[in-house]
Amino acid sequence: MDNKSYSIELTNVRFGYVKDRPVLKNVNLKLNVNKYICILGHNGSGKSTLSRLLLGLSKVWSGTIKIAGIELNEANYKKALHKIGLIFQNPDSQFIGLTAEDDIAFGLENRNVPRALIRKIIDHVAKFLNIESLLHLNSFMLSGGQKQKVCIASILALDPEIIIFDESTSMLDD
């Protein structure tokens, strides 16, 4: 038996959007901790579908998914979800706040992080990504690439063990 710890583990995962037409068929995958992994494929090959499954946004037909050793199921969903973050292809699918600062704060507020700590985390990730000048701007004033940087900051602020970038760097413009 394999006792090694993986960040992501899929066992016999089967899924589709239309009954009897699977897009993923008996997928087995083990991704090691502390590694950068790139999954490549043409449009429609299942990359975004895999991301949705890892976040529990879609439910597998059969098989199991483990996130940081936690099986993704109804009982463990919240616990597993705190281990993973996803940055979408399109920032408009992810951007929630009126301002960049609001967007970064959103997930932290939902996790009941104290306001003083939220301020420090926002300042830290904004400086790290060089977006301090964007923090107080309304989202409609930001370019797609600027919004994408804010979405990246929002996930980094939550400090998940695993981050999935679903072609998110394609929008970066500065």
pTM of the model: 0.81
Q: Give the fold, CATH level 3, of 6-81.
A: Rossmann fold (3.40.50)
Does 20 score more than 60 pLDDT? yes
Q: How far apart are CA 4 and CA 155, in angstroms?
A: 27
Which residue would you say has higher pLDDT here, 169 or 85? Answer: 85
Does 168 score more than 80 pLDDT? no
pLDDT-derived band at 3 (thresholds 50, 70, 90) equals low
Does 13 score more than 70 pLDDT? yes
H/E element, 80: helix 77-81
pLDDT-derived band at 26 (thresholds 50, 70, 90) equals very high
H/E element, 21: strand 21-32
H/E element, 156: helix 144-158
**pLDDT of res. 14:** 94
pLDDT-derived band at 91 (thresholds 50, 70, 90) equals confident
Q: What is the pLDDT of residues 59-70, one digit of tens each?
A: 999 999 999 889
pLDDT-derived band at 17 (thresholds 50, 70, 90) equals very high
pLDDT-derived band at 4 (thresholds 50, 70, 90) equals low
Given a contact cutoff of 8 angstroms between Cβ atoms, the answer to whether 167 and 93 are in contact is: no
What residue type is 130 in one-letter code?
Answer: N
Residue ranges covered by each domain of the chain: 6-81, 91-171
